[in-house]
Amino acid sequence: MDLHLQGKVVIVTGGFKGIGKGIVMELVREGAIPVILNRDDDKTEEFRQEVEQLTKDYAIYLLDLNDTDKIAPIVEDVHAKYGHIDGIVNNAGRNDNKDLETTSWRDFEESIHGNLTHYYELVHAAVGYLKESKGAVVNISSKTALTGQGKTSAYAAAKGAILGLTREWAAALAPDEVRVNAIVVAECWTPLYANWIKTFGDEEAQQARLRVITDKIPLGHRMTTAEEIGATAAFLLSDRSSHTTGQWVFPDGGYVHLDRALS
């Protein structure tokens, strides 16, 4: 299916690895122009080499999204360079396991800032251009917003707020035909997830822990891939989903809605 994304400019936060990279690569395959906002890390050059095997038509802005005041000037620069901004993917974030019992309110607020505020500021800065293009926003959220996890109050609060903002922005921007949707990620295999699994011990212990998780994923008893999240995001950004807004989409193999019902 042609998603009609050829030449569309889409800003993606946290695009060097994991889910963000899966989204960027899918956009590239569809002919879009990804503009990646990412901190400078050990994956920067590796990412450049990989994306340039597919396209030269992309842009990278290196920044720490905690420096929120730097976002608006980047948005202005992107619009000046391309003349249009057609989509936003708010993806960057980290489950930092700030739990209820040991996290001070100051650390809680710092985590909220790191996982939520840049979502708001990027759309705030770009909203006028999205109205011009009748563009789309995709917010990446997490199952923790709906299922809880038990040891990550700040992250769950941020991801819950993202779902609320998705509905709020969809309502606010409907008159301008700007669509806003969220992808609720459950158990998706990423480098961060792989590092977490390694904390359970040797290879046998890691595989045992993975089986506990995948046994609870009804469809295929396997993890979701970053490529599957990327394909969902590309569809939601495209005019093939032209009458879809305010939705929370669950490409999770039935984890959130079916697991508890089936068991």
Q: Which of 121, 127, 116 shows the shortest CA–CA distance to 175?
A: 127
Q: Is 152 helix (H, G, I), strand (E, B) or coil?
A: coil
Query: Does the CA dihedral 12-14-16-20 come out positive or negative?
Result: negative
Q: Let me know whether 95 and 124 are in one domain.
A: yes
Q: Let me know whether 209 and 165 are in one domain.
A: no
Q: Is 60 helix (H, G, I), strand (E, B) or coil?
A: strand
Q: Let me know whether 210 and 112 are in one domain.
A: no
According to the model, what pLDDT value does residue 259 have?
66
Is 258 a domain residue?
A: no
Q: Which of 51, 17, 37, 211 shows the shortest CA–CA distance to 118?
A: 37
According to the model, what pLDDT value does residue 113 have?
97
Q: Let me know whether 81 and 183 are in one domain.
A: yes
Is residue 186 within 8 Å of residue 255, measured between CB atoms? yes
C-alpha to C-alpha distances, 101 to 144, 146, 152, nearest whole angstrom: 17, 20, 10
Q: Let me know whether 88 and 216 are in one domain.
A: no
Q: Which of 78, 99, 108, 80 shows the shortest CA–CA distance to 13?
A: 78
Q: How confident is the model at residue 194 (pLDDT cuts 50, 70, 90)?
A: confident
For 239-248, what is the mean pLDDT? 98
Contacts with 174 (C-beta within 8 Å, 6 or more apart), sequence order: 245
Is 256 a domain residue?
A: no
Domain, as residue range, for 196: 189-223
Give the helix/strand (H/E) hosting 224.
strand 224-225
Percent of the chain residues topping a pLDDT of 90? 91
Is residue 13 within 8 Å of residue 20, measured between CB atoms? yes
Is 4 a domain residue?
A: no
Is 261 a domain residue?
A: no
Q: Let me know whether 13 and 47 are in one domain.
A: yes
Q: Read off the pLDDT of residues 80-98 as tens digits, 9 standing for 90 and up.
A: 999 999 999 999 999 999 9
Query: Does the CA dihedral 209-141-188-194 come out positive or negative?
Result: negative
According to the model, what pLDDT value does residue 260 have?
63
Tell the residue number behind the tokens 């050990």, with chain if given. Answer: 42
Is 166 a domain residue?
A: yes
**Mean pLDDT of all residues belonging to the chain:** 95
Is 260 a domain residue?
A: no
Q: Is 68 helix (H, G, I), strand (E, B) or coil?
A: helix
Polymer length of the chain? 263
Q: Let me know whether 181 and 194 are in one domain.
A: no
The CA-based angle 142-145-150, given to 5 degrees, is: 105
Q: Let me know whether 145 and 113 are in one domain.
A: yes
User: Of these residues, 58, 119, 129, 155, which one is catalytic?
Assistant: 155
Is 196 a domain residue?
A: yes
Is 257 a domain residue?
A: no
Q: Let me know whether 62 and 156 are in one domain.
A: yes
Is residue 163 within 8 Å of residue 233, measured between CB atoms? no
For 34-60, what is the mean pLDDT? 94
> pTM to 2 decimals?
0.94
Q: How confident is the model at residue 263 (pLDDT cuts 50, 70, 90)?
A: low
Q: Let me know whether 80 and 203 are in one domain.
A: no
Structural domains in the chain (count): 2
Q: Let me know whether 107 and 24 are in one domain.
A: yes
**pLDDT higher than 80, residue 54:** yes
**pLDDT higher than 80, residue 75:** yes
Q: Read off the pLDDT of residues 102-151 as tens digits, 9 standing for 90 and up.
A: 999 999 999 999 999 999 999 999 999 999 999 999 999 999 999 998 99
Tell the residue number behind the tokens 């974030």, with chain if given. Answer: 93
Let me know if 129 is a catalytic residue: no
156-176 burial code (b ≥16 CB/10 A, e <16)? bbbbbbbbebbbebbeebeee
Q: Let me know whether 207 and 142 are in one domain.
A: no
Q: How confident is the model at residue 262 (pLDDT cuts 50, 70, 90)?
A: low
- Determine the Cα–Cα distance for residues 78 and 56; give it in Å rounded to an integer: 16
